[in-house]
Amino acid sequence: MAGKSGREISAEVKGGIRSKILSWEGALILILVAVNILGVVISPNYNVSNVLREMPRYLAEIFMMFGMGYILVLGDIDISVGALVCLAGTVTVLSSNAGLPFGLAVVVCLLVGLLGGMLNGFIATRFTELPTMIVTLGTQIIFRGIAEVLFETWGNGGGTASMTDTKGLMLLAQKIGPFPIAFFCVIIVGIIMITVLAKTTFGRKLYAIGSNKTAAYYAGIKVEKMRFICYSLLGMLAGLCALFLLTATFGSNTTTGQGFEMEVIAMCVFGGIATTGGKGNLIGGFIAAFIIVCLRIALGQRNINTQVILVIIGLMLIISVLVPSISNSIAARKKRSAA
Amino acid sequence: MKKKVLSVLLATTVVASLLAGCGSSAAAPAADAAPAADAAPAADAAAPAASSGGATYALVTKSAGNPFMERMASGFQEAVEASGGTVVIQNPEAATPDAQISVVQSLISQGVSSIAVDGNDANALTAVLTEASNAGIKVLSLDSDVAPDTRAVYCNQAGVQQIGETLMEAVYDLTGGEGDWAILSATSQATNQNAWIDAMKKLMESDSKYAKLNLVEVAYGDDEPQKSTDQTQALLQNYPDLKVICAPTTVGIAAAAKVLQDQKSSVKLTGLGLPSEMAEYIGDDDAHSCPYMYLWNPIDLGRLAGYTSIALVDGSITGAAGDKFTAGELGDYTIEEIDGSTQIILGPPFKFDPSNIDEWKSVY
């Protein structure tokens, strides 16, 4: 059942076109369309150019959503990535300001992300008895702590630094037509990540580990190696996120990336990926990410209180997780009344 | 095979629906967007003749749930509404520049006439504010400045030097001229906090009068009550000879005042605080932790930013040094050039002590 949708709307319908429409992904597409229609209805400024212009900051987060999807499918979790974005961004800005050419700064950015991810992976796989939530809580504090120390020692103090040579970032912030470059990168990375998870043995192994770690181990899957790879991959995507975030902020500070880890996990869960592992697919997460982004932009344009927007997204998340149990209980009641 | 087809289908639908969702709107709002874009210059042209009616003036605060920001926003609203303009007040979801970027991006989409921003970071907003200016929106800052070349003018609550001198003098007075003292600040990257702290440090170096004062630590409470409380307790524990804590932030001073008063500590407190929050701690005797403190009027600061927004939008000022305008009941102001950036200074900080705290605590 690898690649199976992590969430069922109806417990009864199996097979046929109806099941496709009633799948969680089908529902998500409908929600996405609905959100876009809602946007047009409530805001006169909700149009292609405005939505795409407001999008880059959110697009950066979506890179990490793919990596987080892998981690969640494994049944693990990583809450350090927001801080890792901060660290990667900070190192990039400071090294660029110290005279590193932009091309190398990009490499440094991805490398810092990769190393951070490898550290997570190393601790999580060497000390398997530790819950990954705790491991990454620790590294979260470490990453942000290092970033703050870097600001103090190499920055101009004050916990913030902006890039002095912005030429390279300007290049990345460019648009092709109305589309920011980040948009294409997200699509490309997305297609690769979705295909690998859904269509390759590598992806299949992740589902196996997430479903039953012990069985996967006895089936000959190198469980710890796979986990290490996934953590490293997520780290590198955090580096990519930091890079594209820089194209919006042209600098880094001690609050950069704050809360990103939770937003990214929310996208995955809303997309149907179960945090217990072994269930869900990235297409769902991908659509869910755009639903959340479009909803934020639409409500933002109506000047709805940002705290209220957070409440709405929180409610959506809870309801989406409740859908299977609600529909199951309805089905059970029907069966009972039929009998 | 079926699955492959399905996944490809789904992937394309995602992109397609996104485009369609946006695309379908493109036709309709294209018509809307054009007048919206026209509206701003039109307002520019019409405003000097008539009033500022029709224009929309936005204020972006640092964060929600901060009493100082709320008072500032109310002053801004009052000033703009009095002259017939529309007000948009946006509190970002977190006290971070990232959250402010999203808010400003949204305001650009809405085609507002002006954006007054209280920066969470001096530089992180540079790109987005430049984009706003390019879209024909007048940008100004208040309370905490942003990069000078990204905004027309900065509404400064008080000169940095003035605040530094006032607070240093208070520390000198409360310590009796010698001994250990500490600063409890907000976040380590808050522009205004850092400028004041720097000014105080420079005064200590340059003026031999302060030679016997010893600044032991600058602690950061991040403008969160709990963290500020923890930091105050840490200061008391780490420096037993501490005489004075100076907290140039409203959240920090309130948290510190409570800690000192609850523990009946001999350490005295001064800084910048809201009278309504600090009234129970202000007093000359040992039962109170704060003998006196300072602040400007956040309502007036909001008002000043409101009147400045209007003047920028109607074209009566451009933000250049020497420009003069009348800010309603606040009186006449002139834009000054200070350290290479254009500013409007509200006035000197106001002293709150036991003699006047009762009349002010109900105001703000």
What structural domains does chain A harbor? 21-32+42-160+171-323 (1.10.3470)
Q: Which residues of A touch B196 (CB under 8 A)?
A: none
Q: Is residue B105 less than 8 Å (CB to CB) from chain A?
A: yes
Of B14, B147, B194, the CB nearest to A29: B14
CATH superfamily of B160-295: Response regulator (3.40.50.2300)
CA distance A69 to A192: 13
Tell me if A250 and B124 make a contact (CB, 8 A cut-off).
yes
Greatest distance between any 2 Cα atoms in chain B: 84
> Could you tell me if B32 lies within 8 Å of chain A, comparing CB atoms?
yes
Q: How far is A321 from chain B (nearest CA, A)?
A: 21
Whole-number average pLDDT of chain A: 89
pLDDT, position A169: 85
pLDDT of B161 reads: 85
Collect all residues of chain B within an 8 Å Cβ-Cβ radius of residue A245. Answer: 98
pLDDT for the residue numbered A155: 74
pTM as predicted: 0.75
* Contact residues for B198 (Cβ-Cβ < 8 A; gap 6+): B164
- Of the candidates B97, B72, B66, the one whose C-alpha atom is nearest the C-alpha of residue B249 is B66
Contacts of B20 in chain A (CB under 8 A): 33, 36
Contact flag B11-A29 (C-beta cutoff 8 Å):
no
pLDDT at A285: 93
Residue recorded with tokens 């305008």: B325
Which B residues 184-203 touch A at CB under 8 Å?
187-189, 194
To the nearest whole angstrom, how far is the Cα of B330 from the nearest Cα of chain A?
Answer: 29
Q: Which of residues 119-138 of B touch A (CB under 8 A)?
A: 120-124, 126-128, 131
Please give, rounded to a whole number of angstroms, the shortest distance from the CA of B212 to a CA of chain A. Answer: 26
User: Is A25 in contact with B187 (Cβ distance < 8 A)?
Assistant: no
Helix H or strand E encompassing B198:
helix B191-206
Q: Which residues of A touch B108 (CB under 8 A)?
A: 50, 53
Class of domain B47-157+298-346: alpha beta
- Contact state of B189 with A44 under an 8 Å Cβ cutoff: no
Interface A–B counts its CB contacts (< 8 A) at 192
Q: What is the structure's pLDDT at B23?
A: 39
pLDDT at residue number B16: 46
CB atoms within 10 A of CB A99: 8
Q: Exposure of B50 by Cβ count < 10 A (0-12 exposed, 13-18 middle, 19+ buried)?
A: exposed
User: B16 in contact with A at a CB cutoff of 8 Å?
Assistant: no
Q: Give the pLDDT mean for A16-45.
A: 84
pLDDT of residue B339: 76
The end-to-end CA distance of chain B, in Å, is: 68
For residue A246, pLDDT over 80 is answered with yes
Position A283 scores a pLDDT of 93
B5 — contact with chain A (CB < 8 Å)?
A: no
pLDDT digits (tens, 9 = 90+) for A168-216: 888 888 888 888 999 999 999 999 999 999 999 999 999 999 999 999 9
Name chain A contacts of B126, Cβ cutoff 8 Å.
162, 250-251
Contacts of B64 in chain A (CB under 8 A): 305-307
Token output for B68: 């100082």
Least confident span in A100-104, A117-121, B5-9: B5-9
pLDDT at B123: 80
Minimal Cβ distance to B22: which of A43, A47, A300: A47
Residue A248 is predicted with a pLDDT of 86
Using an 8 Å CB-CB cutoff, list chain A residues near B7.
194, 198-199, 283
Residue A117 pLDDT grade (very low, low, confident, very high; cuts 50, 70, 90)? very high
Residue A8 is predicted with a pLDDT of: 66
The answer to whether the Cβ–Cβ distance between B127 and A54 falls below 8 Å is: no
pLDDT along chain B (364 residues), means of 10: 49 46 38 37 35 77 85 92 91 87 93 93 86 93 89 88 91 92 89 89 91 92 91 94 93 93 91 90 88 89 93 90 88 86 86 86 76
pLDDT at B28: 36
Which chain B residues contact residue A40 at CB under 8 A? 21, 24-25, 28-29
The CATH 3.40.50.2300 domain(s) of chain B lie at 47-157+298-346, 160-295
Handedness of CA B165, B167, B168, B169 (dihedral sign): positive
The stretches of chain A forming alpha helices (DSSP H) are 16-22, 24-42, 48-54, 56-73, 81-97, 102-126, 132-154, 167-173, 181-199, 201-211, 213-218, 223-249, 260-270, 282-301, 306-338
User: CA of B54, closest CA in chain A: separation in Å?
Assistant: 16
DSSP string over B19-70: HHHHHHHHHHHHHHHHHHHHHHHHHHHHTTTS-STT-EEEEE-S-TT-HHHH
